[in-house]
Amino acid sequence: MSVQVKFWGVRGSIATPSADHMKYGGNTSCVELVLNDRIIIFDAGTGVRMLGNCLINRGIKDYLFLQSHTHWDHINGFPFFAPVYREDVNIEIHAGHLAHSCGIHQVLSSQMCQPTFPVPFAELAANISFRDFQAGESFSLGDGINVRTAPLNHPDGGTGYRVEYEGVSVCYVTDTEHVPGRTDENVAGLIEGADLVIYDSTYTDEEYPQFVGWGHSTWQEGVRLCRAGNVKQMVIFHHDPSHDDAFMDKVAEDARKEWDGAIVAKEGLSLELSKSEKPALITMAC
């Protein structure tokens, strides 16, 4: 049994390709989850471009996307995901916030319409299927992989995921806003006892009052939720574009002092999970 996680994009809102963002990375949200020979991709931000190239090099032809939501920074890498242009590739895309509106197919195809993108969605060669569900549902992906979901507090809606496989659980919880002093029961119930929680930590508690209503949380709130929920490890994720490497170094230092179960996401960070041990740093292909 092998469960591995790799971070391909850790930034929120907009990509930040600058010298001051090199250490932690400037690509927007994309996380790869490997369950033996199954590939699950959380979000198609700009980080998905390099992941696509890597998957082609690995010879893998079947992928499953779990979209947290469809704001631009979480989907604008999709047209640059090289496997979508290959006829021998199968892609399944799930989303939990569009079942009663336009649907995930409409959102992904409309971002490729002229005059904002030169290649229409109809030109994609891969066999792509779509599933819209209601956040809060649970479902199976086969091969012993089960998924629980929860609605998140974010403008236009969002979905948190918990993927369970062979006794190991990985939660992806971004983008979501908390209410200070009040536990978000949707998130708390989703992450209880998880091995790894990837949490929206766009702001610090000190910054948060300036951004109420923007749909994001803080690393300190993530720590509070994870400690209360007996989570093994939390990854601080979805870094604000204004938070350069020096700022993130300070976040990492403060988080270590607060709880040794919290680490800061960097592009390329890879973890291996097991039922009995804390997630361990590893080196993954590409």
Predicted TM-score (pTM) of this structure:
0.97
What pLDDT score was predicted for residue 1? 66
Q: Are 27 and 46 in contact, with CB atoms under 8 Å apart?
A: yes
Q: Where are the alpha helices (DSSP H) in the chain?
A: 48-58, 104-110, 185-191, 219-228, 245-258
Whether cis (ω within 30° of 0) applies to the bond prior to 175 is: yes
60: enclosing H helix or E strand = none
Residues 6 or more apart from 99 whose CB is under 8 A from it? 132, 133, 134
On the question of a cis peptide bond just before residue 83, with omega within 30 degrees of 0, the verdict is: no
What Å distances lie between residue 168 and 12, 33, 41, 130, CA to CA?
A: 27, 12, 17, 26
Whole-number pLDDT of residue 207:
97
Q: What is the pLDDT of residue 280?
A: 86
Task: Tell me the pLDDT of the chain (286 aa) as tens digits.
Answer: 689 999 999 999 999 999 999 999 999 999 999 999 899 999 999 999 999 999 999 999 999 999 999 999 999 999 999 999 999 999 999 999 999 999 999 999 999 999 999 999 999 999 999 999 999 999 999 999 999 999 999 999 999 999 999 999 999 999 999 999 999 999 999 999 999 999 999 999 999 999 999 999 999 999 999 999 999 999 999 999 999 999 999 999 999 999 999 999 999 999 999 887 888 887 887 8
